[in-house]
Amino acid sequence: MGDVGVGGEWRGMIKYLIRFAEMRRAILIALGSAGLAAQAMGQHTVNVPQEEKDKAQRQVASNRRKKKAQHTSVIEFQGIHAFSEKELRSLLKEPIATINDFGLTSARADDAAFFLELIYRKHGYAKVSVHYVIESGDRLRLEVNEGPLTTLGTVVFRGNANEPADKLFEFAVGPTRERYSKMQKKLPFVAADIEEGADLVHRLYVAEGFLDSAVDKPHYTYHDDINQVDVVISVREGRQYFFGNVSFTGKAIYDSATLRGQIQDLLEQPYTDARVADIPRRLQAYYKARGYYDIKRR
C-alpha cells in the first residue's frame, strides 16, 4: 500500500510539472506575440515631422520656465497696479529663468528691468520707468513707476492724394489693433506699433504701383493734460506705374493673344516686382498643363 501511495504522489507531481511547463510555454508565446505586435506597430508609426517635435519641445521648455518663474523668490515687484504679479512673472519668464539658471548679476538685473519697461510700453504706458535693486546678492527688486496710461489720439496723413486716409489709418494702427477688440475705440499709444504701421503704409503704396513712394517717420504731439498722443504721418507718393506693352519672343506654339489672356488680370493691375515675377510662372503653368513639360523662359 505504501508503494502505491508513493507512486501516486510521483504521478501527481509529474502531472503538475507538465501543466506548469505548458502554462509557461503559453505565456512565452503570448509575450512573444505581444512583442511582435509592438514591433510591427513601431514599424508603422507615422514619423512626426522634426519641426513639430522641435515646436513641442520648445513649448514644454516654455511651460517649464513659466512655471518656474511663478514660484521663484529671486525677484519681487514694487509699484505695480496695471498688471498682477502673476502676469508679470509670466511675461518675464525668460529673464527670470536666466537669473535662476546662471545667477543674478547687474547686467541680468538691468535686462529684467529693460524688458519690464517694454511690456508696459507695449500696453500704452509711455512714461513708465523701472529701477532695479539687488538685495543680499541673490534677490532682485524691480521698482516700477507706471505713469499714466497714454492713449492714441488723432492720426493725420499728409501727402496722400491717391489713397484715402481711412484706408491708411487701418494699416497704421493695425499692429496695435490686432491685440485689442475692434469694439475698443480708444487704443493705447505704442510708438513701436505706429512705426511698424507706417512701414505697412509704405508697403501698401508699393503694392499699388507707387515704386518711388516714401513714408516719413511718424511725428508725435504729446498732450500731457489728457494723456494722449496725436500722430502725423507724411507720405510722398511719387509716380504710379502700370504695365505697358507686353511682347513674346521665341518659338511660340500659341499666339500672343492667347498668352496675353493668361496674364491679363496681372497686366490690368499696377506694376510691381511681384507681379512681374508671376508672369513667367503663369505661362509655364499654362504650357505644362498642355503637356509641354520642357518649357523654359529666357
Whole-number Å distance between alpha carbons of 131 and 78: 10
Together in a domain, 231 and 295: no
Residue 127 has pLDDT above 70, yes or no: yes
Average pLDDT, the chain: 82
Over residues 110-128, the mean pLDDT reads: 95
How high is the pLDDT of residue 67?
A: 53
Task: Please indicate, yes or no, if residue 41 is contained in any of the structural domains.
Answer: no
Nearest to 125 by CA among 80, 156, 84: 80
Task: Answer whether residue 275 is part of any domain.
Answer: yes
Q: What domain range is 247 assigned to?
A: 242-298
Last residue of a domain, one of 236, 254, 289: 236
Nearest to 72 by CA among 46, 106, 43, 95: 95
Question: 80 with 88: CB under 8 angstroms?
Answer: yes
Q: Domain boundary residue among 219, 236, 253?
A: 236
Q: At what angle do helices 106-122 and 93-102 cross, to 10 degrees?
A: 170
Q: What is the pLDDT of residues 139-188, one digit of tens each?
A: 899 999 999 999 999 999 999 999 999 999 999 999 999 988 777 889 99
pLDDT greater than 60 at residue 240: yes
Judge whether residue 262 has pLDDT over 60. yes
Per the structure, how many domains does the chain have? 3
For residues 163 and 214, membership in a common domain is answered with: yes
Q: How many helices (H) and strands (E) does the chain have?
A: 11, 7
- Asked if the model's pLDDT at residue 34 lies above 50, the reply is no
29 found inside a domain: no
Q: Is the pLDDT of residue 196 over 70?
A: yes
Split at pLDDT 50, 70, 90, the class of 44 is very low
What CATH number does residue 182 fall under? 3.10.20.310
87 — pLDDT class (breaks 50, 70, 90): very high
Whether the predicted pLDDT of 216 surpasses 70: yes
pLDDT of residue 59: 60
Q: Given a cut of 60, is residue 31 above it in pLDDT?
A: no
Kindly state whether residue 173 falls inside one of the protein's structural domains: yes
In a domain, 6, yes or no: no
Residue at 201 is within a domain: yes
47 pLDDT band, cuts 50/70/90, is: low
At 276 the pLDDT is 93
Say whether pLDDT at 298 is over 80.
no
Tell me the three state secondary structure of residue 220: strand
Looking at the structure, do residues 179 and 232 belong to the same domain, yes or no? Answer: yes
**If pLDDT is split at 50, 70 and 90, which confidence band does 14 have?**
very low
